Amino acid sequence: MFRSLAVFSLLTITACTAGMIDPPKKSGAQLFDKHCTSCHGRTAQGDGPRASSFAIPPSNLTMIAQRNGGTFPTADVMAQINGYSGRHQMGGMPEFEEVIQSPIVEWTSPMGEVIPTPQALLALATYLESIQE
């Protein structure tokens, strides 16, 4: 419960600070290509050109659902991209606060909460969900 509340307030804070400018909508695939492939690789399997420089290697992002018992944890993934510090403080995964600055859209969580979420962050998570094995 605490964890989902933390994610909730994190996304809410982001929602309040984002959205000053109205950049054109970018698709999750475009965002991924530009900002994520250097470490996670073009196929998202964790084999980008910079991958070998990390003590904790970039995750294989096509296996997130499998690692999570078959369910894609959208909120956790968005929190990870956004920079929720609980999980990856020791890892090399950067925070992408600026990349995800975008118009706010409403995302309905599996628990039925409507959470204002930056469009780019949701697009990235939706893209990752679409490439799960």
Among 54, 71, 86, 108, binds ligand HEC (CB under 6 A): 54
Among 3, 9, 50, 85, binds ligand HEC (CB under 6 A): 50
> What residues contact residue 31 under an 8 Å CB cut-off, 6+ apart?
99, 120, 123, 124, 127
Tell me how far, at minimum, the Cβ of 95 lies from ligand HEC, in Å. 10
**Nearest residue relative to ligand HEC (C-beta):** 91
> What residues contact residue 56 under an 8 Å CB cut-off, 6+ apart?
90, 91, 92
Report the 10 Å Cβ neighbour count for 52: 10
Among 10, 15, 77, 122, binds ligand HEC (CB under 6 A): 77
Stretch that binds ligand HEC, among 7-15, 16-24, 74-82, 107-115 (CB under 6 A): 74-82
Q: For residues 54 and 47, give the distance between their C-alpha atoms in angstroms, rounded to a whole number.
A: 11
